[in-house]
Structure 1
């Protein structure tokens, strides 16, 4: 696939005209907020200034950034990268929005714009792994025979599918397979032999995807790939000069996740087994011994954050580091004279595991070198993770960056013009909170921007006088919030405690659900609270109460949408992405302000770092986290301009605490009340308009 040359700018309509053409062709209607956003995106691309755009539900933000991005790509010949957080939005762009848009803009652009999707290598079948029959050992020690048998059947199906598929993309396999089965036929980027060493490089699905991306006007990827590209010395994404980050409120968390390392005794044992057939028994035993010593050490220390290296830890990790590298040296290069593909694949997998784990141990050994905790790059903690339904756990050592602002500033913002957009980006009334966490300078003028910079990179945060300038735009929303929805705060309820839902809260839930006639999405701060509320309501109501975990989330949401009198209760994943317009949803119920858990090591460390710099750690981290989630949760209510309803927050602190106004400022301008009678009356009118 060859990419056509750039077109003359003078022959191509400007963005407003192109947007009108696109909206008309796609059967839409002109929206002022969409035009404002599209014009701002075009201006940023022209000037090179970064842009943060809040575009509420119904604004049509996808078209608002796609149209100027495509125009730029066609007129300059430069690729534009669009990054999303969720597979759902990726699929919407690739399967629906972009094909229709490319057809609509073909005539005014002078040619049909091209686009491609680019995912991590592990999302594609590896032909070398399939044809050499190199398999991974299952992780763990005790296995369900049925599960192993199922995995075998799935792997057989994957081998058959490899002869039929044109993409090798896991998302194109219907029905899907388990992660365990997929690992048998895929490799990570670091496990890959590389085109120079692989017999199947020419037909490689991942390489084909990368070649297509390099020849496309617009490439759709995800936040994880942005992180990998930022951290890798190799070039992952095609050369580009503009990046659009959709679902930008997720960017920091996704980059943090990719930058987090985990170590456990089980993972060391798996590496040793993987190396067993490649190196001498003595070296393998030495690595196993170092892993067992590490496991015993973890079992002796308490869970939670490490602010210093526990006594004896330096010696344990030094031995583990040395044994890992000793095994690495013993394996030798991936491909040597006379080495077959089977052997090369096994060596590649083993070397990758050894290198990744060795680098993680080295990272750990240097984590406490800086005495000032506010300037450290990493946060280290031990967690106890469940391994079965009986409640057994295993200790895992985790390391996450204190901040990703420095990484984003140096690798993302310094190399391209970046457009960041989401339905919720302003916290406390402005963009500063998220901007500084992204590594951009605060504009000031609000508490949110006063003390959020947790760079932990040793670099000075940029100022507005630097070349890294950005603008913020709230494109608005087509919703008439004060006339469409009520924000009800149950001021009369007692402050929530750490225990189960109180009796007054349970009674409040029952009264609100009854007034709404069902039609309730219950968003709870914990799975325990969601289950308690579900059990209580099932005993006090004849209506169907669905609870997250009863079935797949997509199935539960469909059941909820199909029956207006049904309620759906759940936790974090329901706060974002649930899209149920119409009469099935007229009440979004939030049990408490979604502050992070007080024992969350990473959040605690980030709060401490902000406070050490003279800022308000609580506002900059905990309150901002809560504000973003509250806005996402409240955003579930109005999905179409005809929707009406109530967002009910059963946490009196939103009305009584000093930070309450700051959190409310992050929500849409709903009509507000603390009167339960007024709220119930409104819900009854909605459930029975007659």
Structure 2
């Protein structure tokens, strides 16, 4: 066990990282975070650590984690960050520390090739179009050489290819120990490695799925750890809501129908029994979706119950699902696949009954519509209780870190959402010199964001900034409608390449944006975070409005009502703090490196006309602010005239 001073010294000027890693810059902020993490692991405490961009927080938690002698789970926000941590950051830290520890990477089941389903797909000989046939051939060739079976290895087959769901498994359709390929199963191998490792890198989706399942008595994928370190922890409240929800979707129902039919292939006489209830269920799903057509995209459950046609369609779906469950029960002993389909049908049927009937004060029941499907949910109103129970069960240290957890230097909002009572907290500033590297421009004369022509006016205000910077900009929008309107307006008016979210996969848009040198990228929600473009390719970030959560979110509405009843002002107690954290994420795209320079354009006039605007501005890194376009132009003129 190493003491706190030594942890800091390792990352200091005389330490091994400074000696062995080129471009490593010792940072006081990184050292103090490493001390705090080390203390939390030793004392099994809860720590909230906000580390500004450029702190080097990954090393700040990996060094004490690897030296702790404890079993540690590190969880990240995305699979891309998970891969970066496992394949790039961990090997460096491990090598410098000469730490002889077992490490493992574990992802959710859908990331691994399923040999049984690949074999089934090949045998079925379905008529694929040329692209899919070629992709299937590529997957087959790869399957013979891959050790991990991780989809991320195979960049040639796009992530959105419809083939992936056919050659990966779900908890519902996995055959478990009765699978003929069980001994070679990539999921089982990855889990075994994780169970034997000292440090396991997972993602939040997997961590919550596992901890939620463990609570329901299904056993755990991740054996008990002494410490959980959650990076990108600002995502946790929303993700926890998903994992403590009960949900069923049209997709689950149609997959069940499809798999039940496929299973008939090897079982004599089964098709005669299964076909009719399967077709009845597929028809009931279609009719329910059609009945919901006139509804808004999402809303509270009582909107379904208020329309007789929808109520009838929902009742019919429950009836035909129950009938299919009975038929599958009669075939369950004839094959492992039928037994599996019966278990799934019974589980979905029970969940559908629970969502449709249970009107508990603790849950918010709601629906959402997709172009060809729907989902029904029951989400807990208060996430603090299940999260607290989950943490108490582990008896471990819990460390939450991100660049965006505080609101005007207070962690109260984040702690309240997660049910954290009296946690240790640490806030370390970014080492970047925002006073010199950045400028915040608040264009004057913009109307209220509810004005019909608001997006047109924003583009008018932003065009001169884009001319001063010669493109090199991210334009971030709070709605897809505003994004589409902005793309229309800019199409004919800028000489630089435009990259619009939705026109290509995110990773490709970012790659092309970086290479263009002078591109303008328009993005909504998913571009506000986890996007890293260092250097001159990105010198302007524009944010059209304060990112308040959509008022039509039924879960949010119910939470706000509950806060009001408990005497808390829902606007200042929830909506503003959540929007501040989202704004900090968007603004964080601008300066990614000590050499970056750039202008943050915040268009929303409420920043200066409303009292709460100060909370937003005070939560951003300290940089000069201006309302004068001339100052923006001078900022970029300085860039041109600065000596190389």
Task: Tell me if both proteins adopt one fold, taking TM over 0.5 as the criterion.
Answer: yes
Q: 1:192 aligns with which of 154, 174, 182?
A: 174
Find the counterpart in structure 2 of residue 557 from structure 1.
510
Q: Which residue matches 1:40?
A: 36
Q: Give the corresponding residue for 2:327.
A: 330
> Normalising by structure 1, what TM-score?
0.82
User: 2:267 maps to what in 1?
Assistant: none
**3-state DSSP class of the match of 2:496?**
coil
Q: Structure 1 pair 548/62, CA: closer, same or farther in 2 (3 Å)?
A: same
Cα–Cα, structure 1 residues 153 and 518, in superposed 2: closer, same or farther, change >3 Å? closer
2:55 aligned to which of 55, 59, 68:
59
Change (3 A) 1:21 1:377: farther
Within-5 A mapping of 1:148-547? 148-177=129-158, 178-195=160-177, 197-232=178-213, 233=217, 234-260=219-245, 263=248, 268-276=253-261, 277=264, 278=270, 279-280=273-274, 283-284=277-278, 287=281, 291=285, 294-295=288-289, 298-299=292-293, 304-306=298-300, 308=302, 310-311=305-306, 317=314, 320-321=317-318, 323-332=320-329, 336=333, 343-345=335-337, 347-348=339-340, 350-351=341-342, 353-370=344-361, 376-381=362-367, 383-387=368-372, 394-412=373-391, 414-415=393-394, 416-441=396-421, 464=422, 470-497=423-450, 499-501=452-454, 503-547=456-500
Residue number in structure 2 paired with 1:4: none
Whole-angstrom distance in 2 between the partners of 1:499 and 1:170 = 44
Q: Please say if residues 109 and 169 of structure 2, whose CA atoms lie closer than 8 Å, have aligned partners that are also in contact.
A: yes
User: Per-residue CA shift, 1:359-405, capped at 9, x if unaligned?
Assistant: 431331344243xxxxx323313x34224xxxxxx554444443433
Q: What's 2:108 paired with?
A: 120
Contact 1:380 1:397 in 2 (8 A): yes
Give the number of equivalent residue pairs.
621
Give the CA deviation at 1:306: 2.5
> With structure 2 as the length reference, what TM-score do the two structures score?
0.88
Q: 1:379·1:402 contact (CA, 8 Å) conserved in 2?
A: no
CA distance in 1, matches of 2:78, 2:138: 27
Which deviates the most, 411-420 or 301-310?
A: 301-310
Is the Cα–Cα contact under 8 Å of residues 520 and 589 in structure 1 kept in the other structure?
Answer: yes
The 8 Å contact of residues 72 and 198 in structure 2, kept in 1 or not, is answered as yes
Separation of aligned partners in 1, 2:276 and 2:484: 52
- Equivalent residue for 2:87, pick from 95, 118, 121: 95
Give the Å deviation of 1:175: 1.4
Asked if 2 retains the 8 angstrom alpha-carbon contact of 1:191 and 1:352, the reply is no
Cα RMSD over matched residues?
3.1
- Distance change (3 Å), C-alpha of 1:575 and 1:10: closer
Kindly state the Cα deviation for residue 484 of structure 1 after the two structures are TM-superposed: 2.4
SS of equivalent residue, structure 1 residue 596: coil
Q: Is the 8 A contact 2:355 2:376 kept in 1?
A: no
Q: Return the alpha-carbon distance in structure 1 between the equivalents of residues 85 and 257 of structure 2.
A: 43
SS of aligned partner of 1:152: helix
**Residue ranges of structure 1 left out of the alignment (5+ in a row):** 1-8, 139-144, 371-375, 388-393, 442-463, 465-469
Q: Which consecutive residues of structure 2, in runs of 5 or more, have no partner in the other structure? A: 265-269
